[in-house]
Amino acid sequence: MEQAKELLINMGPQHPSTHGVLRLMAKLDGETVTWMEPDVGYLHRCFEKLSEKKTYAQVIPFTDRTDYLSALTNEHCFVEAVEKLFGEQIVVPERAQYIRVMLMEFQRICSHLIGLGAGALDLGAITPFLYCWRDREKMYSLLERITGGRMLYNFWRIGGVRNDLPVGIIGTPNDGEELADKTIWGFINYFDSYVWPQWDALVTQNRIFQWRMQDVGKLSSQDAIAYGSSGAVLRGSGVNWDLRKNLPYSIYEKMEFDVPLGRENGDCYDRWLVRMEEMKQSSRIVKQCLEWLTENQTGEFMGKTPRVIKPPKGEIYHRIEGSRGEVACYIVSDGTANPYKVKWRSPCFTHLQLMPLLTPGHKVADIIAILGSIDIVLGEVDR
Amino acid sequence: MVEFLQSIGLDFLSVTALTWIAAFIKGTLILVWSLANFGIAMVLERKVSAWMQNRVGPWRSGLHGWIQFLPDLFKLFKKEYIEPRNIDKPLFVIAPFIGFLSACLIWLIVPMGPGGTAMDLDIGIIFIAAITGYDVVAIFMSGWGSNNKYSLLGAMRGAAQMISYEVTLVMSIIGVVMMVGSLKLSDIVQAQASHGLLGYFAWPQIIGFGVYLIASLAELNRAPFDLAEAESELVSGYHTEYSGFRWAVFALTEYIHLVGWSAIAASLFLGGWHGPGFYEVVSGLGNLLQGFGAFPNSVAGAILNYSASIEAVWTVGWLHYVVGLVWFILKTYLFVFLAMWIRWTLPRVRIDQLMDLGWKFLLPVSLFNIFITGILRYVAVNVTALPIHIGSLTIRLLGFWAN
Amino acid sequence: MGLTNFLGEAIRAGKSFATGLSITFKEMTMRPAITVFYPDEKDNVPAWFRGIPLQKTDLKTGEYKCTSCAMCVEACPVNVITLEWHQDPVTKKKVADRYAIDMSRCMLCNYCIEACPFDSLVMGYDYELSKVDPENLVYEFEDLLRLGLKYSSAEQPGPKAKKNATPPWVFHELTGATEADIQDTKGFLGRAPLAKGYEPELKPQFQTKTEETAPAQAEAGTPSGEEAN
């Protein structure tokens, strides 16, 4: 009599730790995963097709909603692509560039915080997750004061940003924790002196946490490149590739920061450390922007743009370093007010393909750890 | 209890009838006590987690949320029982109540005060080990009966984990049993009375104490060892399919178990109802001054004389019972808080790491503890005849008095 | 060697757990709760907060500021604004028949406010927009005007108006709005529950004009907002 040796389990679409609506099918031999396949598409919102019917400006709010945890980088990708399509016609003022870069790096801290927090939550550490939530709320309060939206900002405009920074939001370099949700300097100082060390001691250095993360989900550099991964997943495997350094866009050439790298055969813990270190580097960039913005208190924040946005005929592929990896968009313009085609390259979709590669041979609990370490947002996977 | 019932005028009944009545009263008391502790522990858990996470926790329902368990239980009581298709219904229905029973049975042998034990069994420790077996059965029944793959995985994990850790748990207690020479819990508590704070078995049995704390967390299925119900992996583990009051019974079981194991820990390692009261502090001070019998001197003698003079008030009168109960509850909730503190700090371990920890670390350590306890105990008993020297003093300071 | 590893690992693990436990204990004892008791107390919203798009009223004349130019309709990325209008045969001005915002689909992107050339639309600060029935989330023109009164206070009432008197609003009968609506004393936002199958009924002020020029206007002069986009 033949006996079924493997158990097929179905994680999701309703499961506490699939970071959205993702379905993971896994075959188990006892507790060990022998086969795994992610099934996506539960959050498809037709973003690319919808964009063809909208004007260029109207697409910007939709880009917010792809990766909703790091909305500003997505906006930047699309807006900068359109600006590049115009060529010399649109010049983005320097002040707007600084505001953009500062907010993007601020958003990166925010996005990594929630990514790491959710990763810790998947491993059963609930309190660190709520600390991350607490600190992220402070960041959201700041972003809300600047942009008007708490999570979905619609702040970028083609040619600049929607409004200047509110008075007093920058603060002074001496601002401490009590001003963490009032001024950006306050938060950055609070982050450097309190949040990061606390995370480091509470989670990163925790031995149970290290047992769970080390030697789990090992990804070689070759595989990382072959699978088209990017961002912290690629750098966690020791590949030195950061678009902010390698193909600088906006004003990243002027910024001083380091690119943290993991080991050659990066495991979940390497990716974790890369993200931790990236938050520090982001706070460095924010500080440089804040210094510039303190010196230059006023200035244009919106460049001269045509009244109706009609880019010349042509196509463009523009990629930037989003919080989760390489965000890119491909726009074909036929000279009208609506884009002919918009294609969105989302890092999370690419990274999700790593799941069948990384999980076999590990335990059920490691599926969740690996999923947390590649840090996906399902809104971006399905678009 | 039977003598007490006879003394209040029920002596016209036969002893058998009185035994039954006594059993009924004891059972009711244990149930009430368990449920009261469930309420306190559950709200405390939510409050402690909230405080650690800079929140306020339950706040709206009366007394700043401290009676939250009443509306919670009421809500669960009136909810619908959802039964999935193709379940093994008898198993599915009975399982929560078996777990509940085993949780309540722990309270049978816990000494809550002088003479305050429902059944002072001679085989107390073995009884504990036997009772824990029930809980494995409950978890496995619920997981098997639910017709759910998550439940099944959770049940398998739970069974493997609890059986493994039961060994370690009993081994960690053996050290205490060797110190006393009795399996009776009231004897163990009584043995810790002589030297106040310093007489607790937590000091000489510090290794066993640590092992017990870790193993009992695993035995309780509490984080960081809550693998059987790992909510981020297995949704809810073995009770995924339960709803309404059946689910509530699982919650009851969890917290009653927690308080029960904490009470046993308090009895075994922290002297149970013997608190460092006034008498214990004075006699402890006297003992300390004379080096635990090593260097008798006049000051210590005077203090010991004084402590002997007040002994009757503090160890025999009614005050004794009240203070004993208060100390017992305080110590129990110290462990309850510790378990919550650990739960809300540490991440969950993986199943193979859990097994490694149990079999490769805790079991050898507890065996080593038994070995070292045996040697020190032998030395402490046999070396007292020799003249006082520094080795003997060290052994005494470690807590191995010859009595 | 094995034993050293064994003990070293135990010590390292114990140390890291102690660090973690001390952190949570510090958070528990030293730091206050950050909870906001939400329905009882609410956080202040910043100046640029985007809650719900509302229609402003010119408090000097008491007339609404919307001119039915349909710029907001064109700017809206998700087509939530419905605008129906006809031309007044006497003054040749556009008159709105129906202006409604479907808040069930609105994504609060602020484009309509930026597009409005007459400063008629404003983003309200109210964010408690949930309703039992999705039909109740369609905010008609009078609802938007009534809720927008709060944000219309920038312009002074006419010099003759008494300080506490009700301004002579043109739409006063239309909406039944009172001074209390400006204050929003109840903290209640939005419309009362509607009956199932609710069809927006045109108010008499609007109806009389459409009935006069009924057939011709209905075809030629009232393109709906959806078509305009």
Verify whether the Cβ–Cβ distance A124 to B352 is below 8 Å. no
- Strands in C80-153 per DSSP E: 81-87, 94-102, 121-124, 138-139
When pLDDT is averaged across residues A164-181 and rounded to a whole number, the result is: 82
C77 closest CB neighbour out of A61, A149, A163: A61
Residue holding tokens 């040697």?
Answer: B375
Task: Note if the bond before A16 is cis, omega within 30 degrees.
Answer: no
A223-232, A368-377, B207-216, C85-94: which range is least confident on average?
C85-94
Contact (CB, 8 A) for B129 and B218:
no
pLDDT value for C206: 47
Is residue A325's pLDDT more than 70?
A: yes
CA-CA distance, A168 to A182, in Å (whole number)? 8
Q: Closest residue of A to B223, CA-based?
A: A124
SS (H, E, C) B120-162: CCCCHHHHHHHHHHHHHHHHHHHHHHCCCHHHHHHHHHHHHHH
* Sequence-separated contacts (24+) of B58-67 with Cβ below 8 Å: B59/C37, B67/B39, B67/B43
- Average of per-residue pLDDT across B150-172: 87
Average pLDDT, chain A: 86
The dihedral through the CA atoms of C191, C192, C197, C201 has a sign that is negative
d(CA A150, CA A141): 7
Is there a contact between B54 and C23 if contact means CB atoms under 8 Å apart?
A: no
Stretch among B155-164, B268-277, C167-176 having the lowest mean pLDDT: C167-176
Tokens matching residue A157: 């405009």
- Regarding an ipTM greater than 0.90, the answer is no
Judged on CB neighbours under 10 Å (0-12, 13-18, 19+), A97 is buried
**pLDDT value for C189:** 46
pLDDT at site C228: 40
Q: How confident is the model at residue B18 (pLDDT cuts 50, 70, 90)?
A: confident
Tell me the sheet residues that pair with A10: A25
Query: Could B341 and C25 be called an inter-chain contact, meaning their C-beta atoms sit closer than 8 Å?
Result: yes
- Tell me which of C146 and B96 has the higher pLDDT: B96
Mean pLDDT on B303-325: 72
Q: Is the pLDDT at C172 greater than 60, yes or no?
A: no
* Phi, psi angles (nearest 5°) of residue C101: -115, 125
Look over chain B and give the mean of its residue pLDDT values, rounded to a whole number: 81
- Alpha-carbon distance of A286 to A146, in angstroms, equals 15
For residue C170, the model assigns a pLDDT of 38
B353 Cβ under 8 Å from any chain A Cβ? yes
**Range in A333-337, B132-136, B328-332, C168-172 the model is least confident about:** C168-172
User: What tokens appear for B168 in the block?
Assistant: 């370690």
Cα(A230)–Cα(A289) distance, integer angstroms: 25
User: How many angstroms separate the CA of residue B360 from the nearest CA in chain C?
Assistant: 10
Is the pTM for the entire model greater than 0.90? no
Distance CA A139, CA A145 (A): 10
Cα separation, B321 vs B32, in Å, equals: 20
Distance from CA of C164 to the nearest CA of A (A): 33
pLDDT digits (tens, 9 = 90+) for B365-377: 888 888 888 887 7
Residues of A in contact with B235 (CB under 8 A): 15-16
B149 touches A: beta carbon within 8 Å: yes
Please report residues of C whose CB lies closer than 8 A to that of B342: 17, 21
* Average pLDDT value for residue range A109-126: 87
| Average pLDDT, integer, range B154-176 | 87
Cβ atoms of A224 and A233 closer than 8 Å = yes
Q: Give B54 to chain A, closest Cα distance, Å.
A: 8
Residue whose token pair is 């109960």 = B325
Name every chain A residue with its beta carbon within 8 A of the beta carbon of B57: none
Cβ atoms B327, B320 nearer than 8 A: no
Band (C160; pLDDT cuts 50, 70, 90): very low
Contact B25, B33 (CB under 8 A): no
Of A283 and C193, more confident: A283
The pLDDT tens digits of the residues spanning A53-109 come to: 888 888 888 888 888 888 889 889 999 898 888 888 888 888 888 988 999 998 999
Sign (positive or negative) of CA dihedral B378, B384, B386, B390: positive
